[in-house]
Amino acid sequence: MSIDGLPPLREVIERHGLQAKKALGQNFLLDLNLTGKIARSAGDLSQTTVIEVGPGPGGLTRALLFNGARRVVAIERDERCLSALAEISDHYPGRLEVISGDALKADFSALATGDTTKIVANLPYNVGTELLVRWLTVGQWPPFYASMTLMFQREVAERIVAKPGSSAYGRLGVLAGWRTEATIAFDVPPQAFTPPPKVTSSVVHLVPRAAPLPADVNRLARVTEAAFGQRRKMLRQSIKSLGGEALLNKVGIDPTRRAETLGVEEFVALANAGTA
Ligand code: SAM
């Protein structure tokens, strides 16, 4: 038995035939001390519904429940995992709801039901960035979540927390910096996963800003995409199709600057001044 009174994860994986599938981005965490550390990075969970994407065999799910989450709603695409997750549900009656399906098709705000909601996940690498961008660009602000505590490849984590002037700064840094305070909580080495990925991972903690600068999400996304799509070019060239030099002059930004020198507030100004 493990500290939570459930069988060790290795045994669970063996008994339910959960050999990891690469196509589903499956790199499992089997050490409950480590999943406990991730759960605790999300803060007090006693009054919280946690939304977890990709519970897999349930290592992080168990840690969330063991560390006091009032309720966990977990969305898993791999049906092979459902029987293992049902055992966790039985162990914590009424506290774990498992949704069988694709997180990319889920309506997350509808899962947040009254309680404080936090998102905590060891995300599948192939859909992690896309989910984060969706959560950062939700129409309603403040959003349905009080925080997000998410595992990414270290390189992606660095892009999320990147500040202007750094080579990692781009669309992710602008969107995350605009609407949240994002920090890297800690790194996780490849050997902590089964099977080990090729690179180091990091847990990122994002807390929504109470009052981000008002901006049209779609225009902000378009201007950052254009600017960083040609990041080595001067802005007058890279955002030519969105208004180029005239738009830059209108908001007082030197047209010879490059995307990575612009702060979030300057991108917001460009988005708000543009018509495209
Ligand atoms: N949470 C587990 C852990 O920490 O050991 C597993 C993490 S593993 C990196 C990613 C999990 O996401 C896998 O269980 C995989 O089946 C699941 N997954 C992959 N794509 C998904 C999707 N589109 N929707 C929901 N779950 C998905």
pLDDT digits 0-9 by tens, 27-46: 999 999 999 999 999 999 99
Q: Could you tell me the fold of the domain covering 9-208?
A: Rossmann fold (3.40.50)
- Interaxial angle between packed helices 82-91 and 59-66, expressed in degrees from 0 to 180 and rounded to the nearest 10: 10
Q: Where are the domains of the chain?
A: 9-208, 217-273
Q: Could you tell me which of 50, 70, 215, 38 has the C-alpha nearest to residue 144? A: 50
Class of the CATH domain delimited by 217-273: mainly alpha
Question: CA-to-CA distance for 128 and 150, rounded, in angstroms?
Answer: 9
pLDDT band at 125, cuts 50/70/90?
Answer: confident
CA–CA gap between residue 276 and residue 273 (Å, rounded): 9
78-84-88-94 Cα dihedral, nearest 10 degrees: 60
- Over residues 204-251, the pLDDT tens digits come to 999 999 999 999 999 999 999 999 999 999 999 999 999 999 999 999
Q: For residue 127, report the distance from its CA to the centre of ligand 1, in Å.
A: 9
DSSP 66: H
| Residue pLDDT, tens place only, 89-105 | 999 999 999 999 999 99
Average pLDDT of the residues of the chain: 96
Q: What is the 3-state secondary structure (H, E, C) of 11-43?
A: HHHHHCCCCCCHHHCCCEECCHHHHHHHHHHCC
Lining residues, ligand 1, CB within 6 Å: 24-29, 53-56, 59-60, 75-78, 102-104, 122, 124, 127
The model's pTM is: 0.96
If you measure from the C-alpha of residue 120 to the centroid of ligand 1, how many angstroms do you get, rounded to a whole number? Answer: 12
Note the pLDDT of residue 276.
59
Residues 6+ apart with CB under 8 A from 65: 4, 72, 88, 92, 95, 96
